Structure 1
Amino acid sequence: MPSLTLPYAEPYNPAPPPTEELDYVDLPVLDFSKTSTPKGWATLAEIAKNAMATQGFLTVINHGYTAAQTKRMFDIANIPFDHVPPEEKGRYVSNMKETGSYQGYKLPQLFHIENGVYDRKEQYSINFDVEKRSHPEALRPFLPEIEAFGKFCHFHIVHPILKLLAQGLQLPEETFVDMHDYNAVGESSIRFIKYYTRPEEEEIKTKNVWLKGHTDIGSVSVLFSQPVAGLQILSPEGHWQWARYVPNGLVINIGDMLQFLSNGFYKATVHRVVQPPPSQGGLARLGLFFFSMPDDSIVLRPVQGSPVLEKMRKEKIPSHEDNEGENAAPTAEMWRKARTASYGFVDLKKEGNVETEVINGIVVKHYN
């Protein structure tokens, strides 16, 4: 009989929230405790539809993953950074530019931010299939828990959101869920990220930006809220606002792929990471994420049969379906490989505070 004792993980003790009165964004809230009744579900569908059609972000509470489970996952998330020697990390680095995949380590000092300053972000990404590749020795005892975490996020967080968003387009609830098969070939992943502090001269050169404003590649991104401030969201009015810490809450946003599938109705909203406020100065920022993507074979053209999207098409919103030849709608695999291989590696065209590149005929913007 297998042991019920979990392997020891050194506790990760999060910092207290910032004391400053920051300009926080007011995100709509999805209370998953209301999903059990038709009335509650209908209410949540309307909230999700309006949130993702305007801000592209929302908060989820009462999602079923306990505070103790979340604390345990943050303990595990810190292991690849603080408990793996540098020489061992080097053996598990992802070759993003060649493979178009984030699986494995992305080490600091790789992405250029501005004025010769490179990022101080370290991350470790793990596929649904935790056995898809090998992992550092310190992380191996925790793979069953990591796999269970990914499965929970997929079925109990992402799937309900996809159903709510399909309902918002007056489509069958399973429309987007069917594009996210747990057993299909794809690149959905658990990701641990740690931002390290930088010298003051680098903060000045980058205007305190740690990660440029960008949209996510996939369909639904799940961030487990943590107290060190840094995430900022670009409002529809063009203002950067801070994301508020919600104990055991989730910050959810839409990525490129769902924007394409919804013909732009659901917004892949621009967000960035900046230096924490003074009350949290000198603190590293540990993040726990789940990035969901459609199956690799899904073609990223607008879904059919939605009365909401049919009305939009009359307004002629540009999408991949307007392109032909090499710029025709890509598959999910093509898009995530192209964006992953280019991010931080290609020269961007500067237009004021916006830097652009063209991928599959679509202009991709980065904000500094």
Structure 2
Amino acid sequence: MPSINSSSDTPAFPGDVPTIDLPRIDLKKLSSGDKAESNALFKTCTETGFFLLDLKVADGGNDLLKEVEDAFQVSKSFFTSPEEDKCKFPLLPSNLGYKQMGGTKIEDGSPDRCEIYGFPQDDLLGLGESNNRIPPVFDSNRALLISCLRRMHSVAETICRHLDAHLDLPRDTFEAIHSLDKASPSSMRFLHMPPQEPSNLKTSLMGHTDNGSITVLFNIIGGLQILPPHSCEWKYVRPKPGCAIINLGDTMVQWSGGVLRSNMHRVVPPPGAQAASDRYSLAYVLKPPKEQSMSRLKMGRVIPQEEEDFVGDCTYGEFHSKKAAGVREGKNLADNQEGKGTNVKIQIDPQQLVSVA
């Protein structure tokens, strides 16, 4: 997915699996203020909260795609190193470091099948106490990681500006909340899922909604699935070269009073011939500062004010901690399946969640 040609040496995505037809939004048109493209963006953000963002012809788009491709190679060098070397950099409370395979649970309570290396935004940008004890392969490419993070943040800012307008919020409302000048738990995460035994296929990364604001995701091989609204049938996202996958997180649902949507998704073994390949991905997760209030925004004519607030006046730090604890234990899975707040629950058969058929 990072570049036009990246998938040329990858087995083809099969045509006989259920897929979801995500809208393709053009970043160049968004950046130029194209009204139809902006309307299409807002529509998908209220319906599934997922879309493909075409970067190929946007200013700086190909630069970002090239940097992401280079970052993929860096992460492969790390993930293919011996396990004892990777474990020298354990995951810290700041979310810097290495999460081993099985470090969290999936829906049936068994260990996950995904390893992750995370970089807090504050660490990369020097907004907090920098921890220089990172793997040499990442440390020697720190400039690349910083540039890549800044470009992905710029993409998220463009989306924020359009959502401000459609929600009738003062200009730069979301952009100001997520300013790069403010310390926040935003992060860049490299993920690796190795091939699984065909006789024992399970979810690699459990079904969940993101607990941030906007996620900018890149991957080449399939495996990402979405549970469409009001449905119990998981559908694959077909990777599209030159596009990022964008999805909204729970904070946007809370602040918008349920106008915007964060949707259930998970990662399973890639379909078809791709199942024999290692799956790598890169995600930038935009999050607000820990002290940011999660109360519904009290402004504009679009956000409903007559209903009770979903979470009350808690901070994002409190909100994040509660959700993250649930995810680690394989719980708190379907909070926003109906597009409301985190108090909304639906019942989903755990076996259906785990099944990768």
Trace 1:283-362 onto structure 2 (pairs within 5 A). Answer: 283-309=277-303, 312-314=304-306, 316=307, 319-321=310-312, 329-345=313-329, 348=331, 362=343
Shift of 1:363: 5.8
Change (3 A) 1:118 1:200: farther
Kept in 1, the 8 Å contact 2:289–2:316? The answer is yes
Q: Which residue of 2 aligns with 1:104?
A: 97
Gaps of 5+ in 2: 1-5
Q: Which residue of 2 aligns with 1:21?
A: 16
Give percent identity, aligned residues only: 24
Kept in 2, the 8 Å contact 1:261–1:302? The answer is yes
Change (3 A) 1:126 1:13: farther
- Give the structure with the higher percent strand: 1
TM-score normalized with structure 1 length = 0.81
Matched, 1:166 2:160: no
Choose the corresponding residue for 2:40, options 30, 41, 47.
47
- Matched pairs, number: 328
TM-score normalized with structure 2 length = 0.83
Matched, 1:213 2:204: no
SS in 2 for 1:52: helix
Distance 1:293 1:93 in 2: 22
Kept in 1, the 8 Å contact 2:95–2:120? The answer is no
Give a deviation string over 1:204-258, Cα, whole Å, max 9, x none.
xxxx4222211001000011141x1111111123132111111020110011111
SS in 2 for 1:252: strand
Distance 1:163 1:211 in 2: 31
Give a deviation string over 1:325-355, Cα, whole Å, max 9, x none.
xxxx321222223322342237x49xxx979
Distance 1:295 1:149 in 2: 21
Change (3 A) 1:274 1:89: same
Shift of 1:200: 3.7
Give a deviation string over 1:126-145, Cα, whole Å, max 9, x none.
12232622211222110111
Choose the corresponding residue for 2:195, options 197, 202, 219.
197
Gaps of 5+ in 1: 1-10, 322-328
Distance 2:258 2:9 in 1: 37
Shift of 1:111: 2.1
Q: Which residue of 2 aligns with 1:244?
A: 238
Give a deviation string over 1:169-208, Cα, whole Å, max 9, x none.
01123011110010211111111000122234432xxxx4
Q: Which residue of 1 aligns with 2:3?
A: none
Kept in 1, the 8 Å contact 2:113–2:205? The answer is no
Shift of 1:313: 3.1
Q: Which residue of 2 aligns with 1:79?
A: 77
Q: Which residue of 2 aligns with 1:31?
A: 26
Distance 2:80 2:342 in 1: 41
Shift of 1:115: 5.1
Shift of 1:288: 1.1
Task: Provide the aligned C-alpha RMSD in A.
Answer: 2.7
Larger Rg: 1
Kept in 2, the 8 Å contact 1:179–1:294? The answer is yes
Shift of 1:60: 0.7
Q: Which residue of 2 aligns with 1:143?
A: 142
Matched, 1:275 2:269: yes
Change (3 A) 1:256 1:247: same
